[in-house]
Amino acid sequence: MSGAGHHRNAELQARVNRLLDLAESRGVITRGQVDARIEAFGDRVTARNGADMVVRAWNSPEYRERLLADAGAAAAELGHAGGGYSSDIRLHAVANTPTVHHVVVCTLCSCYPLAWLGPPPAWYKSEAYRSRVVRDPRGVLREFGLVLPNSTEVRVWDASAEARYLVVPQRPPGAEELSEDAQRDLVTRDCLIGVAVPRLPAEVSR
């Protein structure tokens, strides 16, 4: 970390500590309660939430239809509501098909569906990803190890303060024989962003 970055982090930490001291002195909340809430938030906000939605869509055409029509409401059906997001923020689900592949970015900053994908990876927030995936999506996907047929259209979705996107990947052939728990393990955070696709363990080991 650069000296300037370290200095900014130290200033931010000092400010947080002052606010915590003030809140504790006024009986608003204790540091222990803050720590407990952060831990609970971390346990609740993971990519498993998005994977739950994808696997339900794989196995229920009716749920898939609801997910694509109103992803926020479909998420709430499974207990994965927005968790503190403004009601102005809308979650959109975009489904991959044999001829169309979706990938998500935020070109302005790093808007991201935290409640359904967990914490964003560092590369998602990087200027390199944000600028290049719009200009050369196939090239960026190749760097992630995802090579798509030339016949596949790649659509890039730009997240914003009002809209978040979740990619619904295709279920890999053979996965229908697996339990829903096993199917869920195939759906990674990167699949939900669109820089990867679900693969059976045998495919991964090749």
Neighbours of 143 (CB within 10 A): 14
191 belongs to the catalytic site: no
Nearest to 74 by CA among 49, 96, 42, 97: 49
- Does residue 106 have an active-site annotation? yes
Angle of the 47-59 helix axis to the 61-69 helix axis, nearest 10: 130
CA angle 125, 111, 185 (to 5 degrees): 80
Q: Which of 2, 60, 87, 111 is catalytic?
A: 111
Residue 110 falls in the annotated catalytic set: yes
Candidate list 109, 126, 191, 205, residue with the active-site label:
109
DSSP secondary structure string, 13-55?
HHHHHHHHHHHHHTTS--HHHHHHHHHHHHHHSSHHHHHHHHH
Residues recognised as catalytic? 106, 109-111
